[in-house]
Structure 1
Amino acid sequence: MKKASVIMIIGSLLLLGLFKFPLWDIELGAPQYPDPLGMSIYIQGIEGAEEFDLQNIDGLNHYIGMKTIPKAEEMWEFTVFPKVIIGMVLLGVIIGVLGYFNKVNYKYYMGWFVLMSILGIMGMYDFNNWLIDYGTNLDPNAIIKVTNPDGTPMSYKPPLFGYQKLLNFDVTSLPDLGGYLLFLGMSLTLVAFWLGRRASLKKTT
């Protein structure tokens, strides 16, 4: 059980990488931009992959009526998400320490994983809703209006995950290092659950 507890603690602490590294990246490439424009999404705000990327993206979006990329203080998520991550790290470490001293059993590790999974799904749902609003709620007085073949307004929503062609832009949306650390940390808590369960079964046989 001690080995499982240590792995649980390590897995929880890996979530702290979200404060240093981006959770997600959206990249826009086009013939006029041989070096693609990038938007890095952290749990505390949005930054450009390069110094002037956000400025250039906002300049392009202005022509089709898209909103400017929000600052951290303009979205409640960037205030709440860091607190949620800190809370889950502390909870995971506490569970791991209690497990180390045999105060809780391995099932608590799975409980942490399930709770973190629910919070992650809620976060992705919220992120997707923001992308929908960002790409479809356009200024009707925009300089450029592009429609679908059936005449309906075209959506400029970036993909939640993967690749999509938007006009002459190739848009790719993928996890960044922070997202991979989150995935690794959660995976380690599953390993901790499995090891704890195996240790518990050995004691009963």
Structure 2
Amino acid sequence: MKQSGILMIIGSALLLGLFVFPLWNIQLEAPQYPDPLGMDIYIGGIQGEEEFDIQNIDGVNHYIGMKKIPTPSEMWEFNIFPIVIGIMAALGILLGILGYLKKINVNWFLGWFILMLVLGILGMIDFNTWLINYGTNLDPKAILKLTDAQGNPLSYKPPLFGSQKILNFTAHSYPRGGAYFMLLGMLCVLISWWTAKRVKN
């Protein structure tokens, strides 16, 4: 149980990587931009990969009626997510200490993992909902109004995961360092529960 407790502590602490590294990244490639435009999505806000990337993305989006990239004050998620991650990291570390001291049942580790998994799924659903709204809720007064063959307005939603052609741009959407820290941490927690359960049985 002591080794499992230590692994639980390490796994929970790895969540703190989300405060340092971006969770996700979206890049836009186009012939007129030799260097792709990119934005890193952190749990507390969005930053451009390069100094003027956000400004350039907003400029391109303006022509087709897309909203500007939101600031932390414009999205409740950027205020709530850091609190949730901080609480989950602290709770996991506390459970690891209590497990190390043999004060709790190992199933508390599994409970933490399931809760973190549910929160992660809800976060991805919320992110995808934002992408849908961002790419489809367009300004009707936009300079360019492009439609499909049936006359319906085009959607400019970037993919949740993977690459997709959007007009003359190719959008790439993939996890970054923060996501890998989180997944590694959750894996450590799952292993800590499994090993402790195995020893107990």
TM-score (norm 2): 0.99
Question: Does the alignment pair 1:102 with 2:102?
Answer: yes
Alpha-carbon separation, structure 2, partners of 1:192 and 1:106 = 9
Q: What is the SS of the residue equivalent to 1:189?
A: helix
Deviations 1:6-51 (A, max 9, x none): 0010000000000000000000000111110001000010000100
Amino acid at match of 1:116: M
Shift in Å at residue 177 of structure 1?
Answer: 0.4
2:47 is paired with a residue whose SS is: strand
Q: What is the TM-score of this pair, normalised by structure 1?
A: 0.97
> What CA RMSD, in Å, does the superposition of the two structures yield over aligned residues?
0.6
1:67 aligned residue: 67
User: Could you tell me how far apart the structure 2 residues matched to 1:162 and 1:21 are?
Assistant: 20
Q: Determine the C-alpha separation between the residues in 2 that align with 1:150 and 1:11.
A: 51
**Partner of residue 54, structure 1:** 54
Give the deviation of 1:105 after TM superposition: 1.7
Detail structure 1 runs of 4+ shifted over 4 Å in the superposition. none
Question: How big is the shift at 1:80?
Answer: 0.3
Which residue number in structure 2 is paired with residue 33 of structure 1?
Answer: 33
Cα contact 1:22–1:176 (8 A) shared by 2: yes
1:180 aligns with 2:180: yes
CA contact 1:27–1:171 (8 Å) conserved in 2: yes
1:161 equivalent to 2:188? Answer no
Q: Any idea what the Cα deviations from partners look like across 1:126-173, whole Å, max 9, x if unmatched?
A: 111111110000000100011112211100000011111000101010
Q: What is the aligned-residue identity percentage?
A: 61
Map 1:80-159 → 2, pairs under 5 A: 80-159=80-159
SS of 1:37's equivalent in the other structure is: strand
- Structure 2 counterpart of 1:17, one-letter code: G
Give the Cα separation in 2 of the matches to 1:147 and 1:188: 48
Q: Distance in 2 between matches of 1:186 and 1:50?
A: 31
Point out where structure 1 has 5 or more consecutive residues left out of the alignment: none
In the alignment, is residue 44 of structure 1 matched against residue 38 of structure 2?
no
Residue-pair matches, total: 201
SS in 1 for 2:157: coil
